[in-house]
Every structure is written in structure tokens, then in C-alpha cells.
Structure 1
């Protein structure tokens, strides 16, 4: 079960799209002579940037201020955009870690001292 509020599900869609694009792009770049982890890292960097920008923009909107007529207390209502109760922009950190993990795994697969 996936739990989200507002546009938080877009974080999962961005991550899924980045995964598919990196799987398709990496072999194509390898045929052109581009080192293996380059495409994957660039895709995850772009996904993290897009997710962070969208999350900050959506979650940074001002709330609607209401005053309870009975108590006179001020209440601010804000739309929250979360995935599993975490604001969507913080999933960008996970995307950056996935890019770093892909680069590290590619470097370790070729062994120390070998060209990538």
C-alpha cells in the first residue's frame, strides 16, 4: 500500500521514470564510448533536481489563514505533498544516494586500476 497526500505520489513517478530512463540510456551511451555509470548518475541527478524543485515549490506555498469564531484562535491550513508522511522534496536525497550507489557499483565492478 502506498500512502501519499497531495502531489506526493509524483516523487515515486519521478523515481520510476529515472529508473527506466537510466536502464535504457546507459547501454546506448556505452555503445557511444561514454563510461558506464555516467548516464545513470546524470539521470538520477536530474531526477533529484526535478523532485527537489517541485517539492519546494508545492510545499512552500502559503497556507490559508482562518480564525475560529468561537475561540478567536488563528488556524493556518496548508496543503501538504507527502509520500509515506515524508515531504516529497526529501526523496531527492534518496535519489542522489541511488546515483552515488550506481557509480560506486560500476567502479567496483571494473576493479581497481582498470579503465571504466
Structure 2
């Protein structure tokens, strides 16, 4: 079950699009002679940047100021955009880590074991 508030679910969609994009872009760049992890790095960095920009813009919007008539206290109502209670812009670090792990996985894919 995915728990989100506001547009926080957009982070999961961005990560899914990055995964799909890296699956499609990596073989296409390999046919052009570009090294294998380059496409993966580009896609995950772009996803992290997009997620950071959207998250900071959505979570830094000004809120509505309401005044309590009895006490005169000002209350600011601001919508939050979270995924699993974490603001969506902080998932950009996780997207970069996923990209780094994907690169490490693509580099270490050629290891073979020999029996003695």
C-alpha cells in the first residue's frame, strides 16, 4: 500500500518513468557506442533533478493564514506533498542512490565463477 498526501505519489511515477527510461535508453545508447552506464546515469540524475524541483516548488508554496476569532492567533494552513510521510523532494537522494546502484550492477555484471 502506498501512502501519500497531495502530489507525493508523483515521486513514485517519476521513479517508474526513470526505470522504464533507463531500460529503453541504455541499449539504444550502447548501439551508438556510448558506454553502458552513461544512459542509466543520465536518466536517474534527470529524474532526481525533476523530483527535487517539483517537490520544492510544491512544498514551498505560501499557505493560507487564518485568524482564530477568540484568541487572535494566526494559523497557517499549508498543503503537504509527501510519500510515506517524507516530503517528496527528499526522495531525490534515493533516486540518485538507485542510479548509482544500477551503474554498479551494470559494471559488475560480467563477473563469472570458475570451479576448481
Normalised by the size of structure 1, how large is the TM-score? 0.90
Match of 2:87 in 1: 87
* Paired residues for 1:40-59 under 5 Å: 40-59=40-59
Q: CA RMSD in A?
A: 1.1
**1:108 CA drift (Å):** 2.3
Match of 2:107 in 1: 107
Cα separation, 2, equivalents of 1:99 and 1:7: 23
**Residues 23-70 of structure 1, C-alpha deviation per residue, up to 9 Å, x if partnerless?**
011111111111111101100000000000000000011111111112
Q: Which runs of 5+ in 1 are unaligned?
A: 112-116
Cα separation, 2, equivalents of 1:13 and 1:105: 23
Cα separation, 2, equivalents of 1:24 and 1:32: 13
* Paired residues for 1:1-116 under 5 Å: 1-110=1-110
**Residues 48-94 of structure 1, C-alpha deviation per residue, up to 9 Å, x if partnerless?**
00000000000011111111112222111001000111100011001
Cα separation, 1, equivalents of 2:9 and 2:55: 11
Normalised by the size of structure 2, how large is the TM-score? 0.90
The size of the alignment, in residue pairs, is 111
Which runs of at least 4 in structure 1 moved beyond 6 Å after TM superposition?
Answer: none
Q: Which runs of 5+ in 2 are unaligned?
A: 112-116
